[in-house]
């Protein structure tokens, strides 16, 4: 059964507090994973141009709708604007391309993936383009965040998306955006786990009526397969003594504790799994509560350790320095 818990966005729409993340879901399994996740009860799917699997995501959604598992109106589909398409005139065309890839008419939420403008790369040259231009170089673009956001606001006006949001922003950029935004961001998506709590940023966004979504809830786990040294050097959160102790006391898995630590604080989560049991476990993170002392214990693990930083991929875009 789908999770009924939602967060009311400032746009007036309801967003499920637990969703399914599509980063690194492989093309050959993606359609089936989306279909099976819908079957398991997931209703929010968090995708992006940069993930390179939106066609397959759409195939899974289309099959589930065709088989009567779900109606389009019952799904909450999220995608993201990549850095290479920040120029105002490029925003609508690429959004429409992404909608076509998904085989849907609108996104429930469309997010600016990074506060980074890069040189435009035509989709016919390479798609998704990644961080480099047609010559293999990281070339900054000229679009300001205001230019990009204004173009995204028009997507809402044209019915191409119901809500718009941001990702990987720090507080000062959010403060600046709120000065000129005609449509306030509905959500802020950030790396958020006990090694990178970002408590001040979460509080600021929520105080401004902006919902927060956590990605990489299990910390280094997502980055090990990318051979990232920072992830290899960090003890696994799923095996952290504090997390394991709390899990045992609640008769839950460490993953469920990490997800509940977020959702109990009204932070949405987007884990993924291709394991049927873990799919169900990740969705079942609302039926128990951590004590205030346990939440404080998990907070105490914080190391201000960020994994999803362009510098960690060898890309010279120092957005977090």
Catalytic residue check, 120: no
HSE value, Cβ hemisphere, 13 Å, CA-based, for 35: 14
State how beta strands 187-191 and 211-215 pair: parallel
Q: Are 236 and 258 spatial neighbours (Cβ–Cβ below 8 Å)? A: no
CA angle 131, 120, 210 (to 5 degrees): 70
Omega before 269 within 30 of 0, i.e. cis: no
- Locate 299 and state its tokens: 């907070």
* Residue 242 burial (10 A CB sphere; 0-12, 13-18, 19+): middle
State how beta strands 14-16 and 20-21 pair: unpaired
Kindly report the number of other CB atoms within 10 A of residue 63's CB atom.
15
Per annotation, catalytic residue among 51, 110, 120, 215: 51
Q: Are 88 and 147 spatial neighbours (Cβ–Cβ below 8 Å)? A: yes
As beta bridge partners, residue 118 has: 140
- The catalytic residues are 51
């Amino acid at each position: 059964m789908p999770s009924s818990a939602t967060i009311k966005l400032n746009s007036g729409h309801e967003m499920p507090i637990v969703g399914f993340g599509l980063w690194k879901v492989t093309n050959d399994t993606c359609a089936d994973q989306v279909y099976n996740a819908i079957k398991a009860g997931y209703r929010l799917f968090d995708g992006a141009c940069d993930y390179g699997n939106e066609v397959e995501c759409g195939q899974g959604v289309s099959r589930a709708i065709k088989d009567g598992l779900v109606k389009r109106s019952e799904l909450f589909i999220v995608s993201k604007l990549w850095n290479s398409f920040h120029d105002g005139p490029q925003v609508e065309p690429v959004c429409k391309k992404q909608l076509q890839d998904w085989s849907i008419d609108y996104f429930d939420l469309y997010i600016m993936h990074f506060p980074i403008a890069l040189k435009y790369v035509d989709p016919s040259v390479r798609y998704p383009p990644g961080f480099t231009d047609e010559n293999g170089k990281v070339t900054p673009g000229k679009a300001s965040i205001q230019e990009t956001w204004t173009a995204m606001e028009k997507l809402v006006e044209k019915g191409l998306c119901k809500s718009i949001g941001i990702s990987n922003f720090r507080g000062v950029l959010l403060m600046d955006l709120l000065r000129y935004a005609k449509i306030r961001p509905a959500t802020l998506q950030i790396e958020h786990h006990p090694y990178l709590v970002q408590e001040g940023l979460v509080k600021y966004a929520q105080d401004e009526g902006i919902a927060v979504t956590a990605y990489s809830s299990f910390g280094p786990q997502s980055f090990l397969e990318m051979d990232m040294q920072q992830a290899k050097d960090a003890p696994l959160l799923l095996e952290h003594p504090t997390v394991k102790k709390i899990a045992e006391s609640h008769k839950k898995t460490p993953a469920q504790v990490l997800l509940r630590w977020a959702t109990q604080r009204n932070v949405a989560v987007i884990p993924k799994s291709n394991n049927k049991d873990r799919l169900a476990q990740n969705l079942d993170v609302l039926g128990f509560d951590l004590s205030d002392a346990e939440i404080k214990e998990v907070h105490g693990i914080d190391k201000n350790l960020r994994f999803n930083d362009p510098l960690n991929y060898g890309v010279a875009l120092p957005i977090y320095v």
